[in-house]
């Protein structure tokens, strides 16, 4: 006669619960560790981004003086076309030299580009920071468009117009480049006299200078908005890092 053994249900249930609990605990620990690593990656990303934005703000601030100088030169030329009181020729060469000044605004963005290309924005938990970064990207695109448009006005309209009218060497030596010094030219000032009154009275020239003034004005307005947005992002990042 076979002995019937009682199945130890209690022990089996307890062991099953222990196994399931161990598996769930392992999953929880793994999820916690993954979340911990992602948070560390996020903190490293936004801390590096903060430093890049600070450098960008310094860069924009350093270029602000020359940008305003160029804008002022355009505005002054426009006012001169509406007045009979023309500045001396040397001042005119200086103003004309600033017409060709490039105003490229290229803030450091290596960390930002890496954040976007690597999908790092998915690590950012703050909706406020993600929205601010999206606005930052849109502002950069807008600035690039205005920057390119302002340069096209010079390259495709003003520059061809001035060729043969206002010698380039005179604009260099008697204009802003000559004042900065340190430049040596293999030629002297062109002795040909320039009829500035005729150029200033040309409606086409007035239209071109006004067009570039409008484009530069729009560019610099967006640059100021960019500065504000960059400062806001830095503030958000500071809050995120402080709350971690």
Give me 135's structure tokens: 């606005």
The verdict on residue 3 lying in a domain is no
Q: Please, are residues 230 and 136 in contact by the beta-carbon 8 Å criterion?
A: yes
Cα–Cα distance, 232 to 74 (Å, whole number): 32
pLDDT in tens, 99-111: 988 888 888 888 8
The verdict on residue 116 lying in a domain is yes
Q: Please, are residues 223 and 60 in contact by the beta-carbon 8 Å criterion?
A: yes
Cα–Cα distance, 228 to 139 (Å, whole number): 11
Look at residues 117, 124, 118 and name the one whose alpha carbon lies nearest to residue 42. Answer: 124
Cα–Cα distance, 159 to 166 (Å, whole number): 10
pLDDT for the residue 31: 58
The verdict on residue 22 lying in a domain is yes
Per-residue pLDDT tens listing for the chain (244 residues): 455 566 666 766 666 776 777 777 666 665 555 565 557 767 888 889 999 999 999 999 988 888 999 999 999 999 998 887 888 988 999 999 899 888 888 888 888 888 888 777 777 888 899 899 999 999 999 999 999 999 999 999 999 999 888 888 888 888 877 766 677 778 787 887 888 888 888 999 999 999 999 999 999 999 999 999 999 999 999 998 887 5
Cα–Cα distance, 239 to 233 (Å, whole number): 10
Q: Which domain holds residue 117?
A: 9-243
Look at residues 95, 99, 100, 102 and name the one whose alpha carbon lies nearest to residue 174. Answer: 95
| Domain tally, the chain | 1
The verdict on residue 1 lying in a domain is no
The verdict on residue 4 lying in a domain is no
pLDDT for the residue 1: 47
Place of tokens 């020359």: 66
pLDDT in tens, 210-240: 999 999 999 999 999 999 999 999 999 999 8
Per-residue DSSP letters for 118-163?
TTGGGG---HHHHHHHHHHHHHHHHHHHHHHHHHHIIIIIIHHHHT
């Amino acid at each position: 006669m076979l002995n019937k053994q009682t199945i130890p249900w209690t022990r089996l249930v307890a062991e099953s619960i222990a196994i399931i609990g161990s598996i769930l605990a392992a999953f929880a620990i793994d999820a916690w560790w993954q979340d911990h690593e992602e948070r560390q990656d996020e903190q490293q990303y936004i801390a590096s981004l903060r430093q890049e934005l600070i450098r960008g703000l310094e860069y924009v601030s350093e270029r602000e003086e020359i940008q305003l100088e160029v804008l002022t030169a355009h505005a002054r030329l426009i006012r001169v076309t509406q007045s009979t009181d023309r500045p001396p020729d040397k001042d005119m060469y200086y103003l004309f030299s600033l017409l060709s000044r490039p105003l490229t605004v290229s803030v450091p963005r290596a960390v930002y580009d890496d954040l976007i290309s690597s999908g790092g924005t998915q690590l950012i938990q703050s909706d406020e920071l993600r929205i601010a970064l999206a606005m930052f990207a849109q502002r950069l695109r807008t600035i690039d468009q205005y920057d390119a448009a302002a340069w096209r006005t010079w390259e495709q309209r003003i520059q061809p117009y001035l060729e043969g009218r206002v010698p380039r060497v005179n604009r260099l030596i008697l204009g802003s480049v000559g004042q900065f010094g340190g430049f040596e030219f293999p030629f002297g000032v062109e002795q040909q006299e320039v009829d500035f009154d005729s150029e200033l009275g040309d409606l086409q020239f007035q239209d071109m200078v006004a067009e570039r003034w409008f484009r530069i004005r729009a560019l610099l307005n967006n640059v100021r908005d960019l500065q504000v947005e960059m400062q806001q992002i830095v503030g958000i990042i500071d809050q995120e890092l402080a709350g971690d």
